[in-house]
Amino acid sequence: MAKILIVDDEEDVRIALQQVLERAGYEVSVAATGNEGLDLLNKERADLVITDVIMPGIDGITTARKIREKYRGTRIIVISGGGKAAPEPYEPDAISTRSYLASASSAGADRTLTKPFDRDELLRVVRSLLGES
């Protein structure tokens, strides 16, 4: 049974992802911050990590980079719903979801997903990364 770690500061998201993945037969651990997720990963390896981008403390991009540096074989999915998904007039402090996810890919994410995504899409990506499809 594959082990999956979910890192997301939104409790509702953590619970929903955990339920979907456990029902699909995976062993799931959860963490509310990037640092907590890295601590859990150091204690018990995971085959796959799903991390949000926008979180307090270290963000998901930094979390993905640290995972990739230390655990090369661990698969990483970075998810984001923050920022703006569509092009808009320039605003100095606005960062688009696409920009976050492009940065995540550069940091070592195997796949990225934009929230909201459905159960079937999530499971398709998870199974693919774990070599189950």
Q: What is the pLDDT of residue 107?
A: 72
Residue-wise pLDDT for 58-116, tens only, equals: 989 899 999 999 999 999 999 987 544 344 444 434 444 456 556 666 677 899 888 88
β-sheet bridge partners, residue 111: 77
Q: How far apart are the first and last CA of the chain?
A: 15
Element (H, E) at 29: strand 27-31
**Are 48 and 12 in contact, with CB atoms under 8 Å apart?**
no
Domain boundaries defined on the chain: 3-129
Q: Are 11 and 34 in contact (CB under 8 A)?
A: no
CATH 3.30.450.150 fits 3-129, yes or no: no
pLDDT tens across 12-44, in order? Answer: 999 999 999 999 999 999 999 999 999 999 999
Report d(CA 43, CA 129) in Å as an integer: 22
The burial class, CB within 10 Å (0-12 / 13-18 / 19+), for 37 is: buried
